[in-house]
A and B are shown apart, each in its own frame.
Chain A
Amino acid sequence: MWTWFYRLASPPYVYGVAATLTPWLLAGAVVALGYGEGVGLFFAPADYQQGDAFRIIYVHVPAGWISMFCYSTMAIAGAIALIWRIKIGHAVAAAAAPIGASFTLLALVTGSLWGRPMWGTYWVWDPRLTSELILLFLYIGVMSLRSAFEDPARGDRAAALLGLVGGVNIPIIHYSVVWWNSLHQGATVAKFGKPTMALSMLVPLLACFLGFMLFFGAVLCMRLRGEVLNRERQAKWVREAIKT
């Protein structure tokens, strides 16, 4: 009864599906981001407190969100691969990790750029930024562990396990960082808080979310195809796929 599942997870099938999906996801991403970023950066009203500086949330917030989403994708794919021994899960996890790290870095950079006009400094130990920084360390750990093994199969499983352990720890880390920050709350650190947003600001933000998701999906598909080709380079279907 599991055969359909294993067939879905077979490398040639995944390779084909990823190839078909990529252009659609990419097209969707261009449309959604074109609208979201275009409206967000140029047409949405400026914030009455932060002025035009607030517009960086149209990059910062979706990037931060994708960085978390990507980590769960990686952890879940790794868990599936570890528990049911479905190798394609490792390929997904390996493909997702660098993307997630890049989005984390993007969120950190945009966060610190935002800090400059807001707090007059490029870095503050804001709980979200701190959590994001620790998330970056977790990504780096997973990626280094994977590449440290000479036997790629072992590297895959070790990275999957570390991804899972990190996944369990992320909420703990996040809440302890929030708790820590609440103790040391200085007067200079303004909280981002949860402002009630005007609809004219919110709609482009949601479009940006959608666009980032679609873009993430597209990049994941592209990297996944590369991973699958590399991992299956001995297989007959790869030689045939490369020839055509």
Chain B
Amino acid sequence: MSVNVQGRVRSSAAMGLVIRREMALSFRRPDQLLQPLVFFLIVTTLFPLGLSPLMSLLRDMAPGVLWVAALLSSLLALDHLFKSDADDGTLEQMALSGQGLWLIVVGKTFAHWLVSGVALVLVSPLVGAALGMPAHAFGTMMLSLAMGTLTLSWLGAIGAGLTVGLRRGNMLLSLIVLPLAMPLLIFGANATDRAIGGESPAGALYFLAALCVITSTLAPFAATAALRITLE
């Protein structure tokens, strides 16, 4: 091709721009950042009320409760990932920017995790303490949640890409993403559980890391393809 493409913006610069844009948007709309966190706290409050305030019982349930609440609240936030940009036409503009949709998808998803995933990880010790988890398990819990929410962000990007044009996409998003996220729950909750019991969580963490790497490499392509289908 001999077409002159002088002055094309480099991919790394474009990626930085997409990430900065997402950050600017999410800090200008703090309610969208806070709501999933509050949801996370509320769901975990439901369990002591529904089960028993007995700390020993709660401690046994803590990893599962924490992980289920984290998955649900992350999914809640993921619904917005492409929707608002698709609604106001800015996603189209970015898709036609010559940068490739793949880059836009990766930038947006990663930025989303940087804000909402990291916030959730930071809040999690609060929930852990409320459920009677010992402090020595917090490190493992946060590490597993960090990998888990990142993996879920990629899976959720596929779901959000597939449901972006749909009016009632929120429910469908959970319906199609949650079955795919079950391995995360298994390994994440197990790692946390072992850390609480004072055992080595390494095995489960390795599995979780493997899932995170596999998903981070494959899911962006699927999410891009999904978005391309629904953008048409």
Q: Judge A-B direct contact (beta carbons within 8 Å).
A: yes
Q: Chain A residues in contact with chain B, CB under 8 A? A: 82, 134, 137-138, 140-142, 144-145, 148-149, 154, 157-158, 161-162, 164-166, 168-169, 172-173, 176-177, 179-180, 183
A145-B162, A172-B211 known; A161+B229 contact, CB < 8 A = yes
A-B contact count (CB 8 A): 74
Query: Known interface pairs A157-B229, A169-B180. Does A176 touch B163 (Cβ–Cβ under 8 Å)?
Result: no
Contact indicator per residue, chain B 137-171, by CB within 8 Å of chain A (1) or not (0) = 00000000000000000000010001101101100
Residue B179 at the chain A interface, CB threshold 8 Å: yes
Is the Cβ of A158 less than 8 Å from the Cβ of B183?
no
Number of interface residues of B (CB under 8 A): 28
- Rounded to whole angstroms, the CA-CA distance of A158 and B214 in the bound complex is 22
Q: CA–CA, A157 to B229, complex, Å?
A: 7
Helix, strand, loop or mixed for chain A's interface?
Answer: helix
> Which B residues fall within an 8 A CB radius of A?
158, 162-163, 165-166, 168-169, 172, 175-176, 178-180, 182-183, 186-187, 190, 207, 211, 214, 218, 222, 225-226, 229-230, 232
Give Cα A161–Cα B221 distance, bound, in whole angstroms.
Answer: 11
Within 8 Å by CB of A148, from B172, B190, B225, B226, lies B172
- Majority SS at the chain B contact face: helix
Residue of A with least CB distance to B171:
A144
- Give A183 Cβ to nearest chain B Cβ, in Å: 7
Q: Bound complex: CA of A177 vs CA of B176, how far in Å?
A: 18
Please list 11 pairs of residues, one from A and one from B, whose beta carbons are closer than 8 Å in the complex, sorted by A's number. Answer: A140-B175, A141-B176, A144-B175, A145-B176, A162-B176, A166-B179, A173-B180, A173-B182, A177-B182, A177-B186, A179-B207
| Given A158-B230, A161-B162, A161-B222, A137 contacting B183 (CB threshold 8 A) | no
Rounded to whole Å, the gap between the CB of A153 and the closest CB of chain B is 9
Beta-carbon contact of B176 and A134 below 8 Å: no
A165 to B182, CA, bound (A): 14
Name the residue on A nearest B193 (C-beta).
Answer: A183
Q: Are A176 and B183 in contact, with the CB atoms below 8 A? A: yes
Taking a contact as CB atoms under 8 Å apart, the answer to whether A161 and B226 are in contact is yes
Say whether B182 contacts A154, CB under 8 Å.
Answer: no
B207→A176 contact, CB < 8 A: yes
Top 5 nearest A-B pairs (CB, nearest first) are A176-B183, A141-B176, A137-B179, A180-B186, A157-B229
